[in-house]
Amino acid sequence: MPEGSGGEDDRVVTPSAGPPDAGPLVRVYGRTLDPAGHMLRDFLSRTVAQYTWTEVASDQDSIAALGVPLREARLPVVQLPGGEFLEEPDPSTLARRLGWVLEPSVEVYDLSIYGAGPAGLSAAVYAASEGLRVAVIERDAVGGQASWSSLIENYLGFPEGISGAALAERARQQAVKFGAELLQMRAGEHGLFANKLLRVDLSDGSVMTSRSNICATGVRWRRLGIADEEHFFGVGLFYGSGLGEAPQCAGEDIAVVGGANSAGQAAMNLSEHARKVTLLVRGPELSDRMSAYLVDRIAATANIEVRTGTVVSALVGEGRLESVMARSADGAETRLPVSRVFVCIGGEANTEWAAANADLVRDEDGFFLTGNDLSPELLDGVWPLERRPFDLETSTPGFFAIGDVRRGSIKRVASAVGEGALAVSLVHRFLAESR
Ligand SMILES: Cc1cc2nc3c(=O)[nH]c(=O)nc-3n(C[C@H](O)[C@H](O)[C@H](O)COP(=O)(O)OP(=O)(O)OC[C@H]3O[C@@H](n4cnc5c(N)ncnc54)[C@H](O)[C@@H]3O)c2cc1C
C-alpha cells in the first residue's frame, strides 16, 4: 500500500488539553458508521494519541488513501507512525503494535492493582512512590470512565477544567515515573489467595502474583435494555460521551440519553459539532442529578433541547440508526429523527469475575462491601483473622476495593483518587502484619 493520503479531508483529532508529549501521529481510514472504526477512534481519543481520521466511502477515496478499490480495502486500516499499515486491527492489536503493551518485570509484586482509572492510577502513584513493587493491570485504555469526560471542571487544581483523558495521561506518567508497571490490554479474570500470595489468571493467559491487591475496576456503561441495541451499536448507537465520535456529528441532529453529569458533559461537547442535541432525561428535573454549573450551561446553549420525563423506547432504522421513539411520562410516543444517540445512563460494577469467589462479599448489584459495611454475619465463615477488615478492605484479607467499584463510593474523580491514597496506607499495614 502507498503512503496514506493525509490529504485535506483528513480530520486531525488533537486532544484539547493533551499531555506534555501527545505522541506521534497515527492515521485511521474507514467507513464513518462502522463499529470497528468507532472502537479505534474511541480508544485513540481516550489514550490522548494524536491521530487523523479519513472517511473512505468510495473507490476514489479508497484508491487515493490506500491504493486499492473499496472492495479490496479491509477497513478500518491504520497507518502506524513508521508508515506500516494494519488492516482491520482491534484496539488491542493497535496498542501492541504501537509498543504500548509491556510485560511484567518481576515474578511477585508487593501489590497488584486492577484497573487504571483515577482510583487505580492514584494507588499506583502512592504505592510506587512509597517503594512498593507495584503492577497495574488494565484491560483497555488508561483513565477508565474519566477518559470519556470531555472536561472535568470540579477536580481540585484545574480551575479551567481538564479533559479526563489528559488528566489520566498525566497520572499515568506520574505512576510510571515512580516505577509502577502498567500492564495494559489484559484483564484480571480469576484470582485465588493461597500461602500469602494472590494469583490471578489474566486474559492473555499469563498469571499475576502479588502479596496484596487493590481492585479498582470501576463500572461499565449501562445498556438501555431495549430491542436491537446490539444491531445498532456503532451504526448510530454509542455508549458514553462520544469523544472520538464528536467530529462526525457535524451538522447532524443527535440525542444524548441520561440526566447526570456524564450526560450533561456529553451534550455540551457534542453541541459544538452537531446542529441540534436533544437531551432525553428520565427524571422530572435535570437538576436532580446534575451539577448546577452544567445545568446552567445547558440552559444557555441554544442548540440543546432538554426533554425531561422521557425514555427511549425503540431504535428505528434500515441498516443504520435513523430515529428513536421517545416515550414521555404519560405514555405518549413521538418519533425523534436523529442520526446518532449517545447513552450515558450510569454504570454496572465490573466485578462479574468475582461471582465464582464466594469469599468476596458483594451487594446485589455487584459492588464490593468493605470495612464497616461488612457485618459479623457477613464475615462469618469467610474472614479468617481476629481483627476486623480495614476501611477499604473486602472480606478477603489483603484484598482492597476502591473507587466506583466499592459500595457506597461517591462516584467522583476526587474521591476515587483519595481512596487510592488511603488504600495504599492500609496495604502497608497488611503487608507488615503478614510478614
Ligand atoms: C463521561 C463522564 C464524565 C464524568 N465527569 C466527572 C466529573 O466531571 N467530575 C468527577 O468528579 N467525576 C466525573 N465522572 C465520574 C468519574 O469519572 C468516576 O467516578 C471515576 O472515573 C471512577 O474511577 P475508578 O478508578 O473508580 O473507576 P473507572 O474510572 O471506572 O476505572 C476502572 C478501570 O478498570 C478497568 N477494568 C475493569 N475491569 C477490569 C479487569 N477485570 N481487569 C483489568 N482492568 C479492568 C476499566 O477498563 C477501567 O479503566 C465522570 C464519568 C463519566 C463516565
pLDDT in tens, 91-147: 999 999 999 999 999 999 999 999 999 999 999 999 999 999 999 999 999 999 999
Asked if residue 76 has a cis previous peptide bond (ω within 30° of 0), the answer is yes
Q: Is the CB of 320 under 6 A from ligand 1?
A: no
Q: Is the CB of 115 under 6 A from ligand 1?
A: yes
Ligand 1 pocket check: which of 136, 137, 142, 145 to mutate, most ligand atoms within 8 Å of Cβ? 145
Residue 424 CB neighbours (<10 A): 27
Q: Is the CB of 122 under 6 A from ligand 1?
A: no
CA distance 204 to 1: 31
CB within 8 Å of 8: residues ≥ 6 apart: none
In the chain, the amino acid numbered 319 is: G
Q: Is the CB of 91 under 6 A from ligand 1?
A: no
For position 399, what pLDDT does the model report? 97
Q: Is the CB of 404 under 6 A from ligand 1?
A: yes
Question: Which residue has the CA at smallest separation from atom 42 of ligand 1?
Answer: 187
In the block, cell 502507498 appears at 2
Tens-place pLDDT, residues 39-86? 999 999 999 888 999 999 999 999 999 999 999 999 999 999 999 999
Mean pLDDT of 281-288: 93
Question: Which residue has the CA at smallest separation from atom 49 of ligand 1?
Answer: 144
For position 23, what pLDDT does the model report? 57
Residue 72 gets the label, from left (phi > 0), alpha (psi -120 to 50) or beta, of alpha
Identify which of 186, 204, 173 has the alpha carbon closest to the alpha carbon of residue 138: 186
Residue 210 · residue 183 · CB < 8 Å: no
Residue 330 CB neighbours (<10 A): 6
Does residue 434 have a pLDDT over 60? yes
Tens-place pLDDT, residues 372-396? 999 999 999 999 999 999 999 999 9
Q: What is the pTM of this model?
A: 0.89
Q: Tell me what the pLDDT averaged over the chain comes to.
A: 92
Question: Which residue has the CA at smallest separation from atom 11 of ligand 1?
Answer: 412
Identify which of 186, 213, 155 has the alpha carbon closest to the alpha carbon of residue 370: 213
Residue 338 · residue 254 · CB < 8 Å: yes
In the block, cell 513508521 appears at 82
Q: Is the CB of 117 under 6 A from ligand 1?
A: yes
Q: Would you call 59 exposed, middle or buried from its count of C-beta atoms within 10 A (0-12, 13-18, 19+)?
A: middle
Does residue 22 have a pLDDT over 80? no
Secondary structure (3-state) at 317:
coil
Question: Which residue has the CA at smallest separation from atom 39 of ligand 1?
Answer: 217
Question: Which residue has the CA at smallest separation from atom 17 of ligand 1?
Answer: 146
Ranking 163-172, 239-248, 282-291 by mean pLDDT, the lowest is 239-248
In the chain, the amino acid numbered 132 is: L
- Binning pLDDT at 50, 70 and 90, where does residue 8 land? very low
